[in-house]
Amino acid sequence: MKYQEKHCWLCLLSLSLLLLFWLGHLIRDLLSPAGQSNGLRGYMRITPGKMDQVLHMHCSQCALVSSSGQMLGAGLGEEIDKVGCVIRMNNAPTQGYEKDVGNRTSIRVVSHTSVPLLVKNESYYFNQSAGTIYVFWGPERNMRQDGHGHTFNTLLKIAKKYANVKIYTVTREKIQYCDGVFQNETGKNRMKTGAFLSTGFFTMILAIDMCDSIHVYGMIDYNYCSRANHSVVPYHYYERNRLNECRMYHVHEHTQRGGHRFITEKAIYAKWATRHKMEFKHPSWSL
């Protein structure tokens, strides 16, 4: 009897140890920012049925191609095309700009405000470019899944129409996480400063989540516009007649409500570049 009791006690002990071990793994997976082993939990596929597929994407090398006018005449297309995964933003075209920006797109990170631009050319983006993965971000009011989020509703329609399309959304939790990152890095509450994070910011976070090393093309550093000899280029390489890049950045940085803090965000990237394998090319950053 005594022996049996002791035996049972040992059984219980080893069972609880096993349980603890398992829980430990579970918690580690839940907490790990990239969640490498189980895919990227911050990005959920939009499917007509149940939405429970996370993004499975991992690249050893990524080219993050900005939409900046810096890309015009850069002649970097061939170099970019050689990189395993090419990340672009919003509706930035490749056709007609291959020499400067390359011709492949592995992932496109798209703002809710750019959705109408993609829908206008829907067969090009969602049927002909079926190999591209789309990651959409937007505020909760547009992305809610209860039938009242108009951006989400549009994307769901697309997902129903094009069976092969790979459309993901940045989850609400991930967006909150990004706000937390901004607040940690700047000491300022993103919402209280009246600013929105830019598509570039979400794209950087995604690149850190899925790439071992990142080559960033066409992004200027946070001091660039205050240098007397800075070059004057369009804000977007595919829109020639808008405010130039530095004027646009200046307006956004100082607007009271609804701006993007492009310059502040660049200062944050400079910090990240010291912790991640990240190289800024054209213009190159000296860190």
Ligand X SMILES: *[C@@H]1O[C@H](CO)[C@@H](O)[C@H](O)[C@H]1NC(C)=O
Residues making contact with ligand X (CB under 6 A): 81, 93, 95, 103, 121, 123-124, 127, 161-162, 177, 180-181, 184, 227, 229-231
Q: Which residue is nearest to ligand X (CB)?
A: 180
Reported as type and span, the H/E element at residue 272 is helix 262-272
184: its two tokens: 């940690």
Closer residue to ligand X, CB minimum distance, 57 or 101 = 101
Closer residue to ligand X, CB minimum distance, 187 or 258 = 187
277: its two tokens: 């394998």
- Nearest by Cα to 78 from 61, 45, 100: 100
- Nearest by Cα to 212 from 38, 41, 57, 25: 57
- Nearest by Cα to 195 from 144, 263, 142: 263
Closer residue to ligand X, CB minimum distance, 200 or 221 = 221
Closer residue to ligand X, CB minimum distance, 149 or 178 = 178
State how beta strands 195-196 and 259-260 pair: parallel
C-beta of 161: minimal distance to ligand X in Å? 5
Q: What Å distances lie between residue 95 and 45, 77, 130, CA to CA?
A: 27, 11, 16
Reported as type and span, the H/E element at residue 280 is strand 278-281
- Identify the bridge partners of residue 166 per DSSP, sorted by sequence position: 133
Closer residue to ligand X, CB minimum distance, 136 or 238 = 238
- Identify the bridge partners of residue 220 per DSSP, sorted by sequence position: none
Closer residue to ligand X, CB minimum distance, 145 or 172 = 172
| Residue with token string 């499917």 | 47
C-beta of 9: minimal distance to ligand X in Å? 39
| Residue with token string 């071992």 | 212
C-beta of 56: minimal distance to ligand X in Å? 23
C-beta of 92: minimal distance to ligand X in Å? 9
C-beta of 242: minimal distance to ligand X in Å? 18
51: its two tokens: 């939405």
C-beta of 2: minimal distance to ligand X in Å? 49
